[in-house]
Structure 1
Amino acid sequence: MCGIAGFVDFNKKSDLEVLKNMTDVLYHRGPDDNGYSFYSLSSHNIGLGHRRLSILDLSKHGHQPMKFDNLEIVYNGEVYNFKEIRKELEIYGYKFISNTDTEVILKAFHKWGIEAVHKFIGMFAIAIYDKEKQQLILIRDRVGVKPLYYYYKDGLFLFASELKSFHKHPNFRKNININALALFFRFGYIIQPYSIFQNTWKLKSGHYGILDLKSGNFKEVKYWDVIDFYNKPKLKIDFQEAVEETERLLKSAFKYRMISDVPVGIFLSGGYDSSTVAAILQKNRSDRIKTFTIGFYEDKFNEAHHARKIAKYLGTEHTEYYCTQKEALDIIPKLAYIYDEPFGDPSSIPTILVSRITRKKVKVSLSADGGDEIFGGYKKYTQAMKFFDLLSKIPLKEKLLKILPNMNNKVFLSKKLSSKVYTLKKLLPSKDYIDMMNRLTYYFQPEEIPKFIDTSNNSEIDLSLTCNVDNIIDKMLATDFKTYLVDDILVKVDRATMNTSLEGREPFLDYRLIEFVAQLPSSYKINENDKKILLKSIAHKYIPKDMIDRPKMGFSVPLNEWFQKELSSLLNEYFDLEKLKKVTCINAEEVHKIYSQWLKFPEVNYNKIWILLIFLMWYEEWM
């Protein structure tokens, strides 16, 4: 696991010093080694930079940039099946001097070109400089586990693992993309391919991009999409056959992700996903797998005792750490730097904490993200269908839609009634099931955002069009997979782990497993009475049902309690009207009004205060 950065400058103003600055700001992603290649050519300057976190072949043979023939590579990630690919390449006469997957990727590209990507099982963000074809090729893994940003403006092309690299280039123009900001205020994250800045993009998951160094043209090409597998005819197998094949794929995916030349651990929450990973990997092993969990002293947010029971039953070597409120609160001012574009998921706080304690004992840790999106674990899926059907039957709905936005919560004496009116206001405009699902989790509804930022040029994204799938459950799963999973969950884990120089691996996100489960009937995953049916059937083979079957808690923190106590001074500072007026892209009076309303009704919209606070801290850090 590493950090990569680089540029192609057709103005020939970028030099080696700029490259080093762009690369070394990613020290946290790779403290073990660094490397830089810089070329000044007739029509452009090109630079490739790398920070290395040594996981496979800890020797100098793993140094990057790595060269072979006409190719040069910098790479972040793991290709777990590199040994099988290496054997295939050896049949064609290729020789190897290292035991790294980097060398295998490089020579696989030499042999097969971009088609080599279809052989890779893993997570990766790759930049390859082809001196013969005069191309820079960027490749991102199918799911989007590893991040890869690029910027292209006025003859300057930049790429990097994190946006903070771009700030180290003197000609990077950090103009806020208002459309992306509107997305942030809705979702709490920015959906690919957008980023917070203009002319700055996330290379989409399952895509590669080619920059032609002769013409300067850049094109992005899709090579994999989960939608293709949801749209295939459903597999005609019974439930038991589905369980057996899913279990086989899980075992293969989990085994691959234990390949390492350094110690490996597992984040264990005690829920179905992480417990299944730990159970399958600990089964029939003589050594005890290291598991890690974070606990909170507030009971309703604490899962540590559940994880402890699972760890004891499985026989893992378990580390449990209870964080104090001060430790959690101390992270909040650091979030803007760690995530370097507005990112609102508050579970980033415990994720950073558990990464810190894990890094003290291991260099690689498996998490269980993706299980909810693949197997159907969120209650919002069934809620969305129920609420949309219910609200569609309301008489005089159109009149209500006109009246509700003008209703102010303060006219209601009852906080409970005020909360219900607020919920009705946000859900009633839903256009379809997908819109309802998103409205259940939005921070701000789309119609609220124009009140405090100028969205007159906003390019509205129709999320129902991103997933052309007929079955509504499949459509919801696919929508979450292409949005919430890649741009919230995976961003959260990548930045939290890499901030502590810990490699995070995602065993549920093996594309073979994803493709298979996508082609199963949705009833094997979720129905009105139960969720994650398929995964639970496998988990209960390893862990007693009464030990693991309980309501889903999630990885959350007591935000509203903190706002009214420990964080009140922070809120007063950032929501001061005079300070708000210095933030050029918002309507200060409207934002201050939202804060004033929260002071009167803190239970109703504290998530809005959180998302605004995150943006304001980000603005102060980077703008």
Structure 2
Amino acid sequence: MCGIAGFVSDAPIEEKTAVLKRMTDIIAHRGPDQEGHFVNEQVALGFRRLSIIDLQGGDQPIFNEDSSMAITFNGEIYNYRMLREVLIEKGHTFTTDSDTEVILHGYEEWGKDVLTRLRGMFGFVIWDSNRKELFGARDHFGIKPFYYAIMNGTFMYGSEIKSLIQHPDFHKELNKEALRPYLTFQYPALPETFFKGVFKLPEGHWFTYRDGKMDIHQYYDPAFGESDQNLADLVDSIDKTVEDSVKAHQVADVEVGSFLSSGVDSSYVAAVARPEHTYSIGFGKGTYNESDQAGELASLLKLNNTTESLDGDQAFQYFPQIQWYLDEPDSNPSCVPLFFLSELASRDLRVVLSGEGADELFAGYVDYGVHTRYKVIKVATRILGHLPRKARYAIGRWAKGKRFPGAWHLYANLAPAEENFIGQAKVFEEDEAGRILRPEYRKAPSVKQIVDRTYARLRGRNLSELKKKQYLDMHQWMPGDILLKADKMTMAHSLELRVPLLDTRLMDVAEKVPTRYLITDENTKFAFRKAADRHIPREWSDREKLGFPVPIKDWLRREKYYRLVRSVFERDYVGEFFDQEALLQMIDDNYAGRNDARRKIWTIYSFLTWYDDYFIHDGTKPELLDLAD
């Protein structure tokens, strides 16, 4: 795991070298072990290394046999040894035992088609001196980040936006269109980031940059469908593939540990992996602390478990740094415990496994299906779900806006997914976000326009509404929120996170799971839980997803934290974006118990903290907040 940064320009070599050094220094947390630079008349490639594979010989950049190509790479390729053997048989000569060099020779041999052979997570660039061309790609699911911009005639890229900011051609400007969608989605929802002119390379895409022109192409897209597989065979297939993927994700020249929560996903991974060390974290005692249950499971499985309990002071002291590491504002409360969990594991290890991906692959979210206390609605929805599509849609649309018990569930499960599902987070209603924003920040793509870009790819495909929802989350929520925070919070502590449940081979199994085995009256991700039953007690495999519970409701009704957040809302620049009087009324009412606006307050607080980091304090890493009374 590493960090990459670089640019294409015709500036003098000495000037490029100095700029590249600044770009890689700012992301030293991604790779504290080694830095490498390649600079010539056209290009500057920079690299920071966290040594995981080929500890002695894997320094980058790496060159091909005649030095006409150079690569810098962030990630891990789990099938690199097999690919290496194939490439040696084809006549390629290797100078290292690293997975990086396999990508380079694979590109020589197969061109862009090397991407379809890679099993892993990656963001990389290859400079071809003969063609004067830069080739780059991001992994199938977007596990690793890749940002780029073209400013003042310079093409620049990096694993983190803060690298790009160090370039003298970078023009820092807030993207005004990003704020309104963020208030609804809780994460950056547009291809263009919160920095005007900075974009994310989409997951499963490659690009070339040559003669001032960038071309982007897709190479991977999950082909969701249906099969008539029976449950027993399906559970066998899931379990065998999970076991194979976990084994592949443990390939390393250093120890590999695992995160462990009370949920099924990380528990399943840890039970199969049997690592020497597992790690858990929580807040205080009771509802917001899963570490006790995680410790119980570790004891049953005879695994070592290290745990810590956090308090609100720690969360607020480090929150400005958390938003700085994220590069863009993200109000997912789980960013906070993940930051501290990563620090805890990094004291011992460089690599951990985690359970991200299972919810998207196997339908683990409550919003995907009928989960209501009204049993009659469950039964009715199941029966009505067998009606022809037009009849289901008609009933679902009829239920929209009705006020009888279960009306919303009928609408959400029978109407077209495109009309009611935008993903796993919805903080502000769209019109509510518009009202609280100043006029110049209301102009932005609508929520419907944003999700329709993804739903449009499904036209002509006969998918269930549930699989449409999965597809949207695979391309919106997962790369935009789940994987972004997983990468940034772990790499903040020089820790590599591997996600064996987010693997192309497991995706091949998951995308064909019959809809009836995804969500049942019994639970979400039904077939996946049945597979997990083979490794962990039913008490753990059946548990409802909690997802790093964070006590923001309690925090915002404690005077100390209420006053801290309110002081941020009172700053002079806040009125540039928001109706400041309405914000202060919102937080006051929440503190007094007249409303429950915790998620809205946290979302705005996250944005303002990030804005303070990057625009008021110019992107320098913030100090810890002083919470002294």
The bucket for the TM-score relative to the shorter chain is 0.7 to 0.9
Distance 1:532 1:91 in 2: 43
1:504 counterpart = 2:494: no
CA RMSD of aligned residues (A): 2.6
Aligned residue number for residue 519 of structure 2 = 526
What is the letter of the counterpart of residue 568 of structure 2? Answer: Y
Partner of 1:344: 331
How much does 1:604 deviate? 2.2
Q: What residue identity is the alignment partner of 2:238?
A: T
Q: Deviation per CA, 1:41-85, whole angstroms, max 9, x where unpaired?
A: xxxx421100000000111x2111111131111110000100000
Question: 1 CA distance for matches of 2:400 and 2:608?
Answer: 41
Whether 1:223 and 2:219 are equivalent positions in the alignment is yes
CA positional deviation for 1:308: 1.2
2:194 is the counterpart of 1:196:
yes
Greater shift in the superposed pair: 588-597 or 534-543: 588-597
Taking the aligned partners of 1:54 and 1:602, their CA distance within structure 2 comes to 52
Per the TM alignment, residue 577 of structure 1 is displaced from its structure 2 partner at its CA by 5.8
Q: Which amino acid aligns with 1:62?
A: G
1:79 maps to 2:77: yes
* Residue identity matched to 2:40: Y
Letter in 1 for 2:574: L
Deviation at 1:619, TM superposition (A): 0.9
Distance 1:281 1:389 in 2: 48
Residues 249 and 512, structure 1, Cα contact 8 Å, conserved in 2 = yes
Give the CA deviation at 1:465: 4.7
Partner of 1:580: 574
Out of 259, 262, 266, the position equivalent to 1:267 is 259
2:245 alignment partner in structure 1 = 253
- Of the candidates 29, 54, 57, which is equivalent to residue 57 of structure 1? 54
In structure 2, what is the equivalent of residue 303 of structure 1? 290
Change (3 A) 1:315 1:456: closer
Counterparts of 2:163 and 2:149, CA distance in 1: 11
Per-residue CA deviation, residues 542-594 of structure 1 (Å, 9 max, x unaligned), is: 2221354333322121002112223122212111163523xx34444444454
Task: Tell me what 2:341 maps to.
Answer: 354
What amino acid sits opposite 1:567 in the alignment? Y
Shift, 1:243, TM fit: 1.2
Q: d(CA) in 2 for partners of 1:81 and 1:495?
A: 25
Given the two structures, how large is their TM-score scaled by the length of structure 1? 0.88
Structure 2 CA distance for aligned equivalents of residues 298 and 66 of structure 1:
49
- 2:190 touches 2:450 (CA, 8 Å); kept in 1? no
Given the superposition, is the C-alpha separation of residues 559 and 396 from structure 1 closer, same or farther in structure 2, using an over 3 Å criterion? closer
Letter matched to residue 222 of structure 1: Q
- Distance in 2 between residues matched to 1:602 and 1:335, nearest whole Å: 30
User: Residue 408 of structure 1 aligns with which residue?
Assistant: none
Shift in CA distance, 603/367, structure 1 to aligned 2, threshold 3 Å: farther
- 2:8 aligned with 1:15, yes or no? no
CA contact (8 A) 2:323 2:609 kept: yes
Q: Offset at 1:384?
A: 8.8
Pair 344,239 (structure 1): closer, same or farther in 2 beyond 3 Å: same
Please list the CA deviations of residues 416-445 of structure 1 after superposition, one character each: whole Å capped at 9, or x if unmatched: xxxx9xx99xx99x9854553438731111
Displacement of 1:462 after TM fit? Answer: 4.3
Cα 1:441–1:94 change in 2 (3 A) is closer
| Gaps in structure 1 of 5+ consecutive residues | 283-287, 401-419
1:85-137 deviation digits (Å, cap 9, x = unpaired) = 00000101112221110111111111111111111000000111111111111
Q: Which residue of 2 aligns with 1:46?
A: 43
Q: State the alpha-carbon separation in 1 of the partners of residues 180 and 147 from structure 2.
A: 20
Moved more, 462-471 or 563-572: 462-471
Shift of 1:193: 2.2
Q: Secondary structure at the match of 1:58?
A: coil
CA distance in 1, matches of 2:423, 2:490: 30
* 2:360 paired with 1:373: yes
**Cα deviation, residue 456, structure 1:** 5.2
Give the aligned partner of residue 426 of structure 2: 442
* Counterpart Cα distance in 2 of 1:168 and 1:361: 32
Whether the 8 Å CA contact 1:192–1:483 is kept in 2: the answer is no
Secondary structure class of the residue paired with 2:422: helix
CA distance in 2, matches of 1:305, 1:180: 39
Contact 1:192–1:203 (Cα < 8 Å) also in 2? no
Moved more, 84-93 or 538-547: 538-547
Q: Contact 2:229/2:514 (CA < 8 Å) preserved in 1?
A: no
Q: 1:567 aligns with which of 558, 561, 568?
A: 561
**Correspondence list, 1:155-174, <5 A:** 155-174=153-172
Q: Which residue of 1 aligns with 2:120?
A: 122
Say if 2:76 and 2:120, in contact at 8 Å, map to a contact too: yes
Distance in 1, Cα, partners of 2:229 & 2:115: 30
Counterpart selection for 1:238 from 230, 234, 253: 230
Number of the residue aligned with 1:6: 6
| Structure-to-structure mapping, 1:270-419, within 5 angstroms | 270-282=262-274, 289-383=276-370, 392-393=397-398
**What is the alpha-carbon distance in structure 2 between the residues aligned to residue 192 and residue 130 of structure 1?**
31
- Work out whether residues 524 and 533 of structure 1, in 8 Å CA contact, stay in contact via their aligned partners in 2: yes
**Alpha-carbon distance between aligned partners in 2 of 1:517 and 1:219, rounded to the nearest angstrom:** 31
Contact 1:71 1:129 in 2 (8 A): yes
> What amino acid sits opposite 1:616 in the alignment?
L
CA distance in 2, matches of 1:396, 1:126: 48
Decide whether the 8 Å contact of 2:424 with 2:477 is kept in 1.
Answer: no
SS in 2 for 1:15: helix
Tell me if structure 2 keeps the 8 A contact 1:263–1:363: yes
User: Structure 1 stretch 252-261 or stretch 242-251: which is displaced more?
Assistant: 242-251
Count of aligned positions: 579
Q: Is the 8 A contact 1:5 1:165 kept in 2?
A: yes
1:336, distance to aligned residue in structure 2 (A): 2.1
Question: Which amino acid in the other structure matches residue 543 of structure 1?
Answer: I
When residues 320 and 396 of structure 1 are mapped into structure 2, their CA distance, relative to the original with a 3 A threshold, is closer
Structure 1 residue identity aligned to 2:43: I
Q: 2:577 and 2:73 mapped to 1: Cα distance?
A: 36
Structure 1 residues 337 and 558, CA gap change in structure 2 (3 angstroms): same
State the TM-score, normalized to the length of structure 2. 0.87
Secondary structure of the structure 2 residue equivalent to 1:37: strand
Percent identity, aligned pairs only, is 31
Aligned-partner Cα distance in 2 for 1:52–1:236: 46
Cα distance, 1:192 vs structure 2: 5.2
Given that 1:48 and 1:65 are in contact with CA atoms closer than 8 Å, whether structure 2 keeps it comes out as yes
Unaligned runs of 5+ in 2: 382-392, 616-629
For 1:96, the equivalent position in structure 2 comes to 94
Rounded Cα–Cα distance in structure 2 between residues aligned with 1:482 and 1:251? 25
Matched to 1:572, the amino acid is R
Q: Which amino acid aligns with 2:542?
A: D
Quickly say closer, same or farther: Cα 1:238–1:301, change in 2 above 3 A: same
Does the 8 Å contact 1:194/1:200 carry over to 2?
Answer: yes
Matched residues in 1 for 2:109 and 2:536: separation? 46
- Name the residue aligned to 2:627: none
Contact 1:367 1:507 in 2 (8 A): yes
1:218 partner amino acid? M
Q: Distance in 2 between matches of 1:394 and 1:251?
A: 44
Counterpart amino acid of 2:53? L
1:154 and 2:152 matched: yes
The one-letter code matched in structure 2 to 1:380 is D
CA distance in 2, matches of 1:464, 1:241: 35
Q: Which moved more, 1:103-112 or 1:3-12?
A: 3-12
CA distance in 2, matches of 1:440, 1:97: 46
Contact 1:369 1:508 in 2 (8 A): yes
Q: Distance in 1 between matches of 2:112 and 2:97?
A: 22
Moved more, 82-91 or 93-102: 93-102
CA gap of 1:480–1:440, structure 2 versus 1, over 3 A, is closer
Please give the secondary structure, in 1, of the residue aligned with 2:40.
strand
Distance (Å, rounded) in 2 between the aligned partners of 1:80 and 1:395: 47
Q: What is the distance in 2 between the residues matched to 1:440 and 1:481?
A: 11
CA contact (8 A) 2:423 2:477 kept: no
Residue matched to 2:454: 466
* Secondary structure at 2:610 match in 1: helix
Distance 1:439 1:66, change over 3 A: closer
| Aligned twin of 1:557 | 550
**Residue 474 of structure 1, CA deviation:** 0.5
Q: Which residue of 2 aligns with 1:33?
A: 34
